[in-house]
Amino acid sequence: MSAIAIRNVKKSYGGTQVIHGVNLDVAHGEFIVIVGPSGCGKSTLLRMVAGLETITEGEIEIGGRVVNRLEPRERNIAMVFQNYALYPHMTVFDNMAYGLKIAGLSKEDIRARVHKTAEMLQLTPYLERKPRALSGGQRQRVAMGRALVRDPAAFLLDEPLSNLDAKLRVQMRLEIKQLQRSVGTTALYVTHDQVEAMTLADRLVVMHDGVAEQIDTPLAVYSRPATTFVAGFIGSPAMNMLPAEAAGDGRLTLATGASIALRGVRLPDQGRKVILGIRPEHLAQVPAGEADLELEVIAVETLGADTLAHGRLGGGDFVVRLPGSSMVQPGDRLPMAIEPGMAHLFDAETGKRLPDDAPAAAPSRQAAEA
Amino acid sequence: MVERRGIGTILTHLALILGVAVLCFPIYLAFVGSTLSHDEILSVPMPLWPGGQMVENYSQALAAGTQVPVARMLFNSMVMAIGIAAGKIIISILSAYAIVYFRFPFRMLAFWAIFMTLMLPVEVRIVPTYEVAASLGMLNSYSGLILPLIASATATFLYRQFFLTVPEELAEAARVDGAGPVRFFKDILLPLSRTNTAALFVILFIYGWNQYLWPLLVTTRPEMNTVVIGLQQMMPSADDYGNWPVTMAAAILAILPPVAVVVFMQRLFIKGLIESEK
């Protein structure tokens, strides 16, 4: 039995469908991150699990119980909001105790649980303060504490770190992960930040336009993105995409006319239109004679550990991640080779990943005619 | 803030002092009048310094008045002003809560209906209101003084605007915490609107205290008079000499409660006007 099961859930506002049937099974103690650009429906999905939005179609189960018609409080979940939603007139203690008080726990029980949670979050010195007198990071902790103290079946977190500055965000990210591990509670976490998504998740749900495009471990999403959208969304800088056509002899013909031999990747049948995806980190600078591609550098970003060289190729932007020691200058021409097995091929029509171990599918009719 | 030096400071202060003097002079004159004897007040010119009759005049006003003791009228005014202020606040906060947080049929119609009553102040609807109050037997009673003035579009609107600024997540967090509508209202909204309520209370208390036309109509027995009406009736009319010192004492007494309310609630009042607690 899974901790949370989402079955073909759809959501419409008026006549407009915004979530088009999402399926997800969350195991006990799993940390699931729902990631996607704004407006993809990730928050709506989370709010449907929380019970703050009605479910238009489909079913949501929490702990084996269908919760479609239950109020949030009957679902045994706790939620952390983006702006924390702490009660401004209550002390930290009262903020954390409020849910327990309503649940009818005894005074001693409440005290014990709040103090234990505060200890875990290093909030003990602040228990008597009002949220106003706390820093952003401390408020964030109180919001976490309010969720933890109730010992719910699942945590729902809606972009909990996006109001923090960059440094604090990294720190809280680690803390959240450790906390979730130590209490072992299932968590659903919504974010638009792919670094957060990659680092926190046991499994990622990449959403786009109300559809879960891929549900898999972070590494699998990174190394085998299911669609061009996922490929472009996960990874920074984004994957380079080049329209190409299979030449049939183990080579690809790019839209620019250049021909590349791909090693370690199964190529589709001749004439099939594809999109070739290469991550910036999977290109290497090579002697001119061995190059697959040549990039004219327009701009260089020196990050210290790496250097990003930006250029244009085949009508689109193209980025290469070079070692930090690289002395590349704007105006240079970089001969580059794709690392073997590191190219991704997607169908040019559907944007779906071409199967890399199964035999390539028959070319679509349009592709054959072209 | 603009920083001024030298002559600028002196000029601004002069202007301010002059303004305060102009505003305060009539009140000062009333106070002086309340400390003089009847003959001294009628002498021309009237003395501008307080006399020695203060205790006598005030005790006579409080205990006896001219027809009804001023103490009685002050009590009536107090009941009416507090009743109106408290009633308006209770009704407005509840209707604003319903309009902002609940989805029910004709919600917007209800809101606009409340809003429209802004166009119907007491004076406009006074005849039908009197008719209703009279047939309900509310003449010469506190409920007659209070109830018809209790509905308030302004206060409802104010609370509505305030509730709209309360982040939606707060209501959602309370829902997740298991708070039902009543708990959310009691535990979250009421404490949050504390400063607004204080500011409203001050304004509405003074509004209630200063009511003239309605109490004049609905009360016929002198012992149900409010102090504002009482004052008018204490004024000498026609060939009557009246009792000016006692009347002035009553006037000063009538000013005191609103002043006290403003002074004591000033901190909250100003907070409520300038700051939202978030």
Each domain of chain B, given as residue ranges in start order, spans 66-274
Contact A89 B169 (CB under 8 A): no
User: Would the CB atoms of B173 and A87 count as touching at under 8 Å?
Assistant: yes
Q: Which pLDDT value is given to residue A128?
A: 93
Query: Which of A47, A81, A130, A142 to probe the B interface (max B CBs under 10 A)?
Result: A81
pLDDT at res. A366? 40
For chain A, give the percent of residues with pLDDT over 70.
Answer: 96
Predicted-complex ipTM score: 0.81
Going by C-beta distance under 8 Å and a sequence separation of 6 or more, which residues neighbour residue A271?
Answer: A245, A246, A248, A363, A367, A368, A370
Contact (CB<8Å) A73/B176: yes
Whole-model pTM: value is: 0.80
At A67 the pLDDT is 93
Quick: pLDDT tens for A98-123. Answer: 999 999 999 999 999 999 999 988 99
Residue-wise pLDDT for A267-309, tens only, equals 888 888 899 999 999 998 888 888 888 888 999 999 989 999 9
Reference B94, options B186, B180, B18, B9; nearest CA is B186
What is the model's pLDDT at position A224? 92
pLDDT of A4 reads: 93
Instruction: Provide block-wise average pLDDT over 10 residues at a time, chain B (278 residues).
Output: 73 93 92 85 81 83 80 91 94 93 90 86 86 90 90 88 91 91 93 88 91 88 86 75 82 90 82 58
Report d(CA A311, CA A299) in Å as an integer.
Answer: 7
Arithmetic mean of pLDDT, A343-370: 65
What pLDDT, on a 0 to 100 scale, did the predictor assign at position B266? 81
Q: Mapped to the 3 state alphabet, what secondary structure does chain B carry? A: CCCCCCHHHHHHHHHHHHHHHHHHHHHHHHHHHCCCCHHHHHCCCCCCCCCCCHHHHHHHHHHCCCCCCHHHHHHHHHHHHHHHHHHHHHHHHHHHHHHHHCCCCCHHHHHHHHHHHHHCCCCCCHHHHHHHHHHCCCCCCHHHHHHHHCCCHHHHHHHHHHHHHCCHHHHHHHHHHCCCHHHHHHHHHHHHCHHHHHHHHHHHHHHHHCCCHHHHHHCCCHHHCCHHHHHHHHCCCCCCCCCHHHHHHHHHHHHHHHHHHHHHHHHHHHHHHHCCCC
B126 touches chain A (CB under 8 A): no
Alpha helices in chain A (DSSP H): 42-50, 92-103, 107-120, 136-148, 166-183, 194-200, 218-223, 228-233, 365-369
Mean pLDDT of A167-189: 91
For the cut 70, the answer to whether the pLDDT of residue A175 exceeds it is yes
* Residue A124 binned pLDDT confidence (cut-offs 50, 70, 90): very high
Using CA coordinates, name the residue in chain B closest to A78. B176
For the domain covering B66-274, report its CATH number. Answer: 1.10.3720.10
Q: What is the pLDDT of residue B161?
A: 92
Contact A71 B169 (CB under 8 A): no
Residues of A in contact with B188 (CB under 8 A): 87, 89
